[in-house]
């Protein structure tokens, strides 16, 4: 360093080394782990140029990109207890995860394919955010579950609500002035350069297809929530089984059934009361 004294050069070198180690430490920050893999999956670590295989239990780091081939699925468990599952032929990047004392923040980039996100209720706090960004849209939630898919050929994003509410806005609408709210059993689409369509009921065939593609086979009973105790099969019991119906809260405790009249309570083992006996005529 011309014109700089020896002590100053030494200080500058130490500062440079400190900055380098800080950057390396930030890249190596572990934010989650691989919960399950069906088939194969790979990771591209920040600052590297080669994809490497993943296995169950491997750490997920900030800045990682993960991908699945055409016949594989990947389930990730993050330190905030949120779960993200990649369908086949998907690529996802972990952009941010900050566990604030009152307002956590997580951001992901979906470059291709489909993911299902189950988000914990800690994101219900004011200022908290959990966002998935695609090339055409941003889906943001506060303690809910949703599916996001991006089709690169059509340049179109599809967002399906599973329970609670998901906010969806276009990438061209940075202020969210044309944001739509997608409820359980609803969906919206966002094409490149366009605003989200008005939310509409999700066709049952589409709901079945997307939920099936984001279910990892062989999940342990503990990972299935109420499924182990209720005997339900076929994935997370919180998911609506058909459009607009059967969605459960994130805790899996309260049914949020839509458009279904209340049913009278049934008591087992208790016969119905006898008909009234008419009074005799006098």
Residue 241 belongs to a domain:
no
Task: Say if CB 110 and CB 137 are below 8 A apart.
Answer: no
Question: What was the pLDDT predicted at 153?
Answer: 97
pTM over 0.75: no
pLDDT digits (tens, 9 = 90+) for 202-241: 999 999 999 999 999 854 433 333 333 323 323 444 444 4
Q: How many helices (H) and strands (E) does the chain have?
A: 3, 19
Residue 189 belongs to domain with CATH number: 2.60.120.1440
- Residue range of the domain that includes 117: 8-219
Task: Say if CB 77 and CB 86 are below 8 A apart.
Answer: no
Residue 273 belongs to a domain:
no
Spatial CA neighbour of 42 closest among 89, 80, 96, 111:
89
Sign of CA dihedral 268, 270, 273, 274: positive
DSSP-based three-state secondary structure for 207: helix
Task: Give the chain's mean pLDDT.
Answer: 77
Question: What was the pLDDT predicted at 104?
Answer: 85
Residue 123 — very low, low, confident or very high, per pLDDT cuts 50/70/90? confident
Count the alpha carbons within 13 Å of 217 in the hemisphere toward its beta carbon. Answer: 6
pLDDT digits (tens, 9 = 90+) for 64-86: 999 999 999 999 999 999 999 99
Which residue would you say has higher pLDDT here, 272 or 205?
A: 205
pLDDT digits (tens, 9 = 90+) for 97-121: 988 767 888 999 999 999 999 998 8
The dihedral formed by the CA atoms of 46, 49, 51 and 52, expressed in degrees to the nearest 10: -80
Among 34-38, 91-95, 124-128, 223-227, the minimum mean pLDDT is found in: 223-227
Question: What was the pLDDT predicted at 28?
Answer: 73
> Checking DSSP bridges between strand 52-53 and strand 42-44, what pairing results, if any?
antiparallel
pLDDT digits (tens, 9 = 90+) for 25-54: 445 799 999 999 999 999 999 999 999 999
Residue 261 belongs to a domain:
no
Task: Say if CB 225 and CB 235 are below 8 A apart.
Answer: no
Alpha-carbon distances, residue 46 vs 41, 72, 76, 93, 162 (angstroms): 17, 23, 18, 10, 32
Residue 234 belongs to a domain:
no
Residue 71 belongs to a domain:
yes
Sign of CA dihedral 5, 10, 16, 22: negative
Residue 274 belongs to a domain:
no
Total structural domains within the chain: 1
Distance CA 69, CA 2 (A): 52
Question: What was the pLDDT predicted at 237?
Answer: 40
């Amino acid at each position: 360093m011309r014109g700089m004294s020896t002590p100053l050069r030494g200080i500058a070198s130490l500062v440079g080394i400190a900055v380098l180690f800080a950057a390396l430490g930030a890249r190596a920050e572990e934010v989650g782990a691989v919960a399950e893999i069906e088939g194969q999956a790979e990771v591209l670590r920040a600052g590297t140029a080669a994809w490497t295989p993943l296995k169950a239990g491997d750490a997920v780091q900030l800045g990682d990109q993960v991908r699945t081939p055409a016949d594989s699925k990947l389930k990730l468990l993050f330190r905030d207890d949120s779960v993200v599952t990649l369908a086949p032929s998907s690529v996802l990047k972990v952009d941010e995860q900050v566990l604030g004392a009152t307002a956590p923040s997580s951001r992901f980039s979906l470059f291709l394919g489909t993911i299902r996100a189950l988000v914990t209720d800690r994101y219900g706090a004011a200022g908290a955010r959990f966002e998935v960004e695609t090339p055409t849209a941003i889906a943001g939630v506060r303690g809910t579950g949703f599916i996001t898919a991006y089709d690169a050929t059509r340049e179109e994003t599809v967002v399906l609500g599973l329970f609670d509410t998901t906010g969806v806005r276009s990438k061209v609408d940075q202020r969210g002035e044309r944001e739509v709210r997608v409820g359980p059993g609803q969906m919206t689409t966002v094409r490149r350069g366009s605003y989200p369509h008005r939310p509409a009921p999700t066709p049952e065939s589409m709901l079945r297809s997307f939920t099936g593609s984001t279910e990892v086979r062989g999940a342990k009973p503990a990972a299935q929530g109420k499924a182990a105790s209720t005997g339900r099969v076929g994935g997370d019991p919180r998911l609506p089984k058909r459009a607009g119906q059967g969605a459960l809260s994130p805790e899996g405790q309260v049914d949020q059934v839509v458009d279904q009249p209340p049913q009278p309570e049934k008591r087992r083992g208790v016969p119905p009361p006898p008909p009234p006996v008419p009074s005799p005529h006098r």
